[in-house]
Amino acid sequence: MTNMKKLILILFSALLFTSCEDVIDVDLEEGKPQLTVDAILTNLDEPQFVRLTLSGNYFDASSVTPITNALVELTDSDGNNYTFKSPDENGKYELDSQFDSLVVGREYYLKVTYNNEVFTSKSVVRQVPAIDSITWSRENIPFGDVDSIWAVQFWAYDNPGLGDAYWVKATRNGVVKISPQSITVAYDGSTGRGAKTDNIPFILPIRASITPGGFAGPPDGEEFIEVGETVGVQLFSISLDFAEYLTILQDQLNNGGLFAKPPTNLPTNISNQNSNGSKALGWFEVSNVSTDSGEISWERSNNRK
Amino acid sequence: MKRIILLSLLIPFLNLFSQEEYTLSGYIKDKSSGESLIGATISIKDTKLGAVTNAYGFYSLTLPKGKYTATASYIGFEKLEKTIELNKDTKLNIELSTLDILSDEVLVTAQKANNNVASIEMSTLELSAQTLTRMPALLGETDVVKSIQLLPGIASVGEGSTGFNVRGGGIDQNLVLLDEAPVYNSSHLFGFFSVFNPDAVKDVKLVKGGIPAEYGGRLSSILDVRLKEGNNRKFNVDGGIGAIFSRLAIEGPIIEDKLSFLIAGRRSYIDVLAKPFLADGLEDSKFYFYDLTAKTNWKIDESNTLFASGYFGRDVFGAGFGFDWGSQTFTTRWNHLFSDKLFSNLTYYYSNYDYKLQFGEDDQDVFKWQANIVTQSVKYDLEYFFSPKNNIDFGIEALYYDFVPGNAVGVSDGISVPISLDEQFAGQLSAYIGQEIDASDDLSFKYGLRGSYYQYLGPGTAYYYGDTTVGISKPLISEEKFDDFANIADYFNLEPRFSVKYQINEESSLKASYNRMAQYVHLVSNTAASSPLDVWTPTTNNIKPEIADQVALGYFKNFDDNEWETSVEVYYKDLKNQIEYRNGADLLLNEYLEADFLSGDGRAYGAEFYIKKNSGDLTGWISYTLARTERQVNGINNSDWFPARFDRTHNLSIVGFYDLSKTWSLSANFILSSGTPGTFPTNRFEWQGYYIPHNEEGSRNNFRIPMTHRLDLSVTYDPEDEPNQWWTGKWVFSIYNVYNRKNPYSVYFRNNENNPAVTEAVRFAVFGSIVPAISYNFNFDVDKLIND
């Protein structure tokens, strides 16, 4: 629901054809830099790392500085201790080894010591459904310069039981897409926290979210999918709190126009052991991920074996 | 003070001991149409006695036996004098002729009202149909709500916002009434036009303070719109063809002087005209509104009149999806005169505001959502006119609310998933009594007491939440189901009202007032502009009634025999139980919505300055308001006071009308107002490849966006009419935003589309260009046509 509402409201603003937007200069106050913990660990076959930076001034990208002198420790509820390599100049602390598999129900504890302050966080691993398949077909669209596009969907069932949440990432030719308009979060198979659906196939807007473009046309700089390209999905099974974080993130990055909401700060699950100490930003989550991908072609419409 | 009040309550009984008194009563009407005139004055020459007609045009004056000269007057009409020998209860109905406002005699015979000084009312703006036609035309059309926004104390969040803010109150704090039925969304096309068709409107009254006891239910203002009854003398057709919309109104008698009707409709077609300008791909979009206003009234006999009126309107918006919303109201009323001194009105009304959304056209994959709120009420109001210096009004109202906050179904791949929220019900019972009294020649009082009792009713489920640290949804502790008409939660509020006027001299007065208001329905919205997706919610076991206490003080002075009107008013309003939302709350289709609500306090204060020139070739006014409105909510802005979303420090409107000649006239309006507050970030951080804004202080509305100012012009060409001409017409040509200023509606922050690492501040303006418009307004006098 939230995604749909967002889309509708964006379209509202677009339709008020005399409205306009200008980039202007604004003098902002400068706030104190804060420790930012970027720690999303998965079972994917790629290097796993925790990235630490300091927040910077809003307009100045270079003012976000990496932290290379902190101590990062990771343990779990079964008593395992995970070691990190030395940080690189981007503030990335890479784990010595990847996770072959993540045990469902296991709790992971992250501890970051920086500037004489200790920050901790924890995350519980959840079950993730397997992806059944990827399908694709030509669909007509009401907008855009073209009449039809390749619409790609992934198929999977929501876990039985209420209270599941997922982060859906799209990949294209092996590269994960990072775009503020396409942070897709599902609650029990649907969008919107209020939904009480369960164990259904993910609903159409979620399934089709991996198509570059979707309903309104691809974001600037992107092209529609062509035959021969590979479109894939990474389905993260996440905690409800993380889903909340991502939903607010998407809201905040797309918060403009006539129906803008008051900007809010993202929540965080990184806490200072000293509750009167400085506050940290970011999120720590250990997540089971299912993946799948398919190569678009005319000969077949899905990637089932 | 107490002694005077007690003594004055005895006045009616003193009749028995003093000379005989008789009552002079009747209706004051417009001679050409038979429409009753609201707020017309009848004064007795050589005395300070007089009366003002009520909402149905009725007046009642009880005087000692004798011979009098009564003068009836009303703005825009010729004064009429009548000599009467009052030796029994006499019915005197008076009909006034319209003044030819362009005639040279205007300076001699026009009634220059000193009502603003002499009336006990303060903080009240009244616009009759005549005055409305002289208002500046936005996009070629005059509009009720757009006109009142040019008056002191009234602001809006910006262009494109529905609703208006009165003395620092939210848009849901105005009780907007159309022939007594409440209207929940008074706008079409996102606030550019109101639902009130000027062809059908007789009188508009906006009360911002010193609200009398007969009104209740909203905190900040009452916008009481009364429809014309329908010309009961002759058929009349009025219409207009314009660039944005066209309108047609037909009125006339069914039985002359007894039964008449009025039907007025409008339809916009801006989407049709805009097609060539729309971006590629949006050609199938629809964006239009239509509305129909109708009324009929039946004068059964001298003591009984029956009215029925209704409104039906819709806004449609879509482009590959469908979105429409609208209101329907229906009111039926019975005026009954028990005696020459006791006037009564019994009303039943039905009001439905609904909104629907459909996304997707394929039945296998579609999302449909609808919500609505139905209000029904029976109310009985009585006015007892003891004497010219003393009247009492009292009444009772029973209301029933039916809220459907969201009835939705999502069909995904053929699997239908109903996602609905429970229907909610509530009932409200109010009773009031008020008295208006002239304690002496210089001192008048109007005071009253209103009591309102509200019940949140079953069938339904009540949710009980626990406490939590602010910023997180409150946890649900328990749910309880209730049966039909069970009392889930109830509240009672006493709302005292008081105003006093001290007449310094003929041309100036001092007024003061206090009112307490209680509000039981709330608009849930956390967006900058109110979108049609915003939901109205009743007071529940979790949401308390909103309360406001307002004091106001004003000085009113007229100059040059009422040619100039001036006033200064200061006010302070204290608000309780104001609803705010926790950061990140998702308000749509959320069953546990109340878990995300925060309750806070508000305060609004300001000074309003007003100068108006009433006659001559150049007329107009300047209105300036200096004000502040703030909220304090635990958990937002570190629990400190912060400015409300619609806080505008300075608000200036300059409106002028200039009659160039008998056929050409100009009008201009210039507005200037401070920027509204915005919440701006202080830092950015990086996470998973995203560049995210952050406000390190956790503040709300810490900055002001740039100010707004705009000039609009319009020219009216009204050719002279031949005496036997059966149609008349006039052209209105207008330019909105003459010097093309991109007035910022909001400033928001985003990542650059091409390079997300670059962040930028964006000024969003709704009307970023000059908008010219032209319209042709015509009138057919059907009788003349038939007799031709």
- CA dihedral of B357, B360, B363, B367, whole degrees rounded to 10: -40
Please name the helix (run of DSSP H) or strand (run of DSSP E) that holds residue B452, with its range, or none. strand B443-457
Among A residues 34-63, those touching chain B with beta carbons less than 8 Å apart: 34, 36, 38, 40, 53, 55-59, 61
Q: What is the pLDDT of residue B747?
A: 85
Mean pLDDT of A161-188: 88
Helices (H), B232-355: 270-274
Instruction: Kindly report the nearest CA distance between residue A203 and chain B, in angstroms.
Output: 5
**Helix, coil or strand: residue B176:** strand
| Average pLDDT, consecutive stretches of 10 residues, N- to C-terminus, chain B (788 residues) | 53 54 92 89 86 92 91 88 91 87 40 66 79 71 84 83 88 94 87 86 91 95 92 87 87 89 90 59 71 93 93 83 86 94 96 85 75 95 92 96 87 74 93 94 93 94 85 85 92 96 91 96 79 82 95 93 90 95 74 86 96 88 96 90 93 92 89 91 91 88 90 89 80 88 85 83 79 85 70
Mean pLDDT of A206-224: 69
Question: What are the residues whose beta carbons fall under 8 Å from the beta carbon of B3, sequence distance 6 or more?
Answer: none
**Does residue A299 have a pLDDT over 70?**
yes
Nearest residue to B209 (alpha-carbon basis) of B452, B497, B523: B497
- State the pTM of this model: 0.84
Q: Please report residues of A whose CB lies closer than 8 A to that of B701.
A: 262
Q: What is the pLDDT of residue B600?
A: 94
Interface test mutation site (partner B, options A153, A204, A269, max chain B beta carbons within 10 A): A204
Q: What is the DSSP string of B636-677?
A: SGGGS-EE-TT--SEEEEEEEEEE-SSSEEEEEEEEEEPPPE
Contact: B471, A267; criterion CB under 8 Å: yes
Q: Please report residues of A whose CB lies closer than 8 A to that of B753.
A: 219-221
Placement of tokens 């003398």 in the chain: B233
A160 touches B at CB < 8 Å? no
Q: What is the pLDDT of residue A143?
A: 58
pLDDT tens string B200-252 = 999 899 999 999 999 999 999 999 999 998 888 888 898 888 877 899 999 99
Q: What is the pLDDT of residue B110?
A: 39
Q: What is the pLDDT of residue B14?
A: 46
Backbone angles phi, psi at A159, to 5 degrees: -55, 145
Nearest by CB to A281, which of B680, B694, B706?
A: B694
Q: Comparing A51-65, A70-84, B268-282, B345-359, which segment has the lowest mean pLDDT?
A: B268-282
Q: What is the pLDDT of residue B20?
A: 85
Residue of chain A whose Cα is closest to the Cα of B697: A31
Distance, in Å, from the CA atom of B402 to the CA atom of B373, rounded to the nearest integer, reads 6
